[in-house]
Amino acid sequence: MVVRVIDGDTIEIEGGQRVRYIGIDAPEIAHPTEPAEYFGEEAAERNRELVEGKIVSLERDVEDRDEYGRRLRYVWLGDTVINAELVRLVYAYAYSLPPNVRYQELFLCLEGEAREQKLGLWAE
């Protein structure tokens, strides 16, 4: 169960563990010393609409955790990979960091389509 959305690419699940979405990077929301990045609040809100309060499945790639101790996962809601959905809906960038590259081609393809159509993050 997703109990809280931290931002556009990080959630908190039951038990208090944080999960960082693999293969994408969403703009940051405001921090105490820095303003929100362009589209950061929108990305967090869309992520919230997609997963908050819902039961999701977590898929691991090669590495289990990042340097901050967050679980690295592909987040599934039914048959939808939320990581890919956020790129498709243009709230996140494709950002693969080897060795966790299972869906890299999909994410890059979705980002390319959004760029061509100048949608969301890619709008002029």
Q: What is the mean pLDDT of the chain?
A: 93
pLDDT at 118 (0 to 100): 79
Q: What is the dihedral of CA 83, 89, 95, 97, to 10 degrees?
A: 10
Taking the model in full, what pTM does it have? 0.91
List, by residue number, the catalytic residues: 20, 28, 70
User: Per-residue pLDDT tens for 59-103?
Assistant: 999 999 999 999 999 999 999 999 999 999 999 999 999 999 999
Residue 114 CA to residue 97 CA, distance in Å, equals 21
CATH architecture of structural domain 2-122:
Beta Barrel (2.40)
Where do the structural domains in the chain lie, given as residue ranges? 2-122
